[in-house]
Amino acid sequence: MINKACGLDIHKRFLIATLLSRLGEKTQQRFERNDQGILDLKSWVLREQYDVVACESTSDFWVPIYDCLTDHLTVIVGNTRDMKAYTHKKTDKIDSEFIAQLALNDKAFKTFFQIS
């Protein structure tokens, strides 16, 4: 059972991360999509002991994030068109939270392909 999940909305220069837990905790943070930003994301996710990270397969922007995290926890990469939250106005924070919610509720494993 997944108790804590992180959803990532990845862009060319930055990413938005949402951490959700079954206890109702929610934290969002923006990271630069450079080496230092990805290392900061890794430290944040590992420090908070999250079970899974889920993200969109946006271009090849996800690859360095996947490479950095895959040895430490489960990373799910899903097709972008399948991961959009269609029920509301699209924003980076909402998309990130939607992805985290899918992973937290184990729907990411049924909807997306799991790489690690």
Task: Give the fold, CATH level 3, of 4-114.
Answer: Nucleotidyltransferase; domain 5 (3.30.420)
**Looking at per-residue confidence, does 46 or 109 come out higher?**
46
pLDDT tens figures, 1-19: 788 999 999 988 999 999 9
Residue type, 23: L
Tokens 């992973």 belong to which residue? 103
**Secondary structure of residue 64 in the 3-state scheme:** helix
pLDDT tens figures, 35-66: 999 999 999 999 988 889 998 776 888 899 99
25-28, long-range: CB < 8 A, 24+ apart = 26/97, 28/93, 28/96, 28/97
Token pair belonging to 63:
């690859």
DSSP β-ladder status, 52-56 and 4-10: parallel
Residue type, 81: R
